[in-house]
Amino acid sequence: MSARKVEQEIAAPHPRATMELFGHREAEMALLDAYRSGRIPHAWLIGGARGIGKATLAYRMARFVLAYRNPLLPSVQRAESLAVDPSDPVARQVAAGSHGGLLTLERSLNDKGVMRTVITVDETRETISFFGSTAAVEGWRVCIVDTVDELNPNAANALLKILEEPPQQSLFLLVSHAPGRVLTTLQSRCRRLPLRPLATADVIRAAALATGVAADDPALAEAAQAGEGSVARALTLLGDDALKLHQRTAALLARLPQVDPRELHALGDALGTSDRVALAAFVDSVDRWIGDRIRADQDANANLPRLARLAEVWEKTVRAARDTQDYNLERKPLVFSVFGMLAEATR
């Protein structure tokens, strides 16, 4: 299959159904070694950029623990990875979201069928009954939070309470795109496991597996290179239109704080009214630009007020983009709003 044929509907399988892990060998072995030691920390904060495999690693760990409940088994001690046979009943149940020993906290639909922007406190309190129950499944209980960045304040506090007094044989895997911004009290209850962006070759292999596009397709190689270590970003950019829109957005971002309203109008028109791929490419470009600026300012010990302004714009952009997508709003106001905020923050 060519990249052009999948351009409009590109999406990787859900991490719970993704059996392959590309890269992150060191992180995988850290989890495996901790488990078979018999003294594994009860909570892990798996952090790194979007789309590099954090949730995939979390589900991989969950499958292994649920499939091999005794860490001292010879098979566990001899294991060279966290791989579980896809035909294993545990693997099938996790992929179907039906394993009684696994709870996933993630954004869900509200009563009107619209995706919530946060993980609510009521959903987080499900951990209390989940870890308190003994009927569903014996042995380990695993909770994946995907992502901890999306917990509202009350939900974060509810999670903290159970992390402070973890039940026996409980394992929490907290996924975060910005681990440094997670509540300090939550961070202190977790072992941090940072993941680096993937090598371009790993991005190509993962994207090829997810889409069926040939690994030697030039468009796939170009998207993987532009993805800078993120499979999700490469999938977003796979296809000429998405990649061109990313480049166009990046060029406008490079001129900040100068803004040309005519160019913003044209960019808004290019986003269309319902093209989810184009919107994702725009949001990803802005997200990457803000992240790069924040990291550069941190490395240069820049003044805190500018860092705070950029972080605030990042949060507002994420929320506005979600609302635009979930409610199918006009794209042009989003473009003007985002560039207006960025221009102000960078002056």
Short-list 288, 316, 285, 303, CA closest to 346: 303
Q: Which residue has the tokens 């003044």?
A: 303
Given a contact cutoff of 8 angstroms between Cβ atoms, the answer to whether 109 and 147 are in contact is: no
Residue 131 φ/ψ region, left for φ over 0, alpha for ψ in the -120 to 50 degree band, beta for the rest: alpha
pLDDT of residue 298: 64
How many C-beta atoms lie closer than 10 Å to residue 296's C-beta?
10
Domain spans, the chain? 24-194, 239-346
Asked if the peptide bond before residue 147 counts as cis, ω within 30 degrees of 0, the response is: yes
Alpha-carbon distance 95 to 77, whole Å? 25
pLDDT of residue 7: 46
pLDDT, averaged per 10 consecutive residues of the chain (347 residues), comes to 49 86 97 96 95 96 97 96 97 96 92 85 91 68 95 94 92 94 94 96 94 90 91 85 88 94 93 80 87 71 74 84 83 94 89
Short-list 226, 258, 316, CA closest to 3: 226
Alpha-carbon distance 187 to 33, whole Å? 21
Strand partners, 28: none
Helix, coil or strand: residue 236: helix
Environment class of 129 (CB within 10 Å of its CB; exposed 0-12, middle 13-18, buried 19+): exposed
Alpha-carbon distance 247 to 239, whole Å? 13
Given a contact cutoff of 8 angstroms between Cβ atoms, the answer to whether 143 and 173 are in contact is: yes
Superfamily of domain 24-194: P-loop containing nucleotide triphosphate hydrolases (3.40.50.300)
Short-list 336, 347, 333, CA closest to 305: 347
Q: What is the CA radius of gyration of the chain?
A: 21
Alpha-carbon distance 24 to 45, whole Å? 15
What element of type H or E holds 146?
strand 141-146
| Backbone phi and psi for residue 46, each to the nearest 5 degrees, phi listed first | -95, 110
Short-list 68, 76, 44, 39, CA closest to 193: 44
pLDDT of residue 6: 46
The model carries a pTM of: 0.83
Helix, coil or strand: residue 313: helix
pLDDT of residue 277: 81
CA angle (331 as vertex; 237, 243 as ends), nearest 5: 15
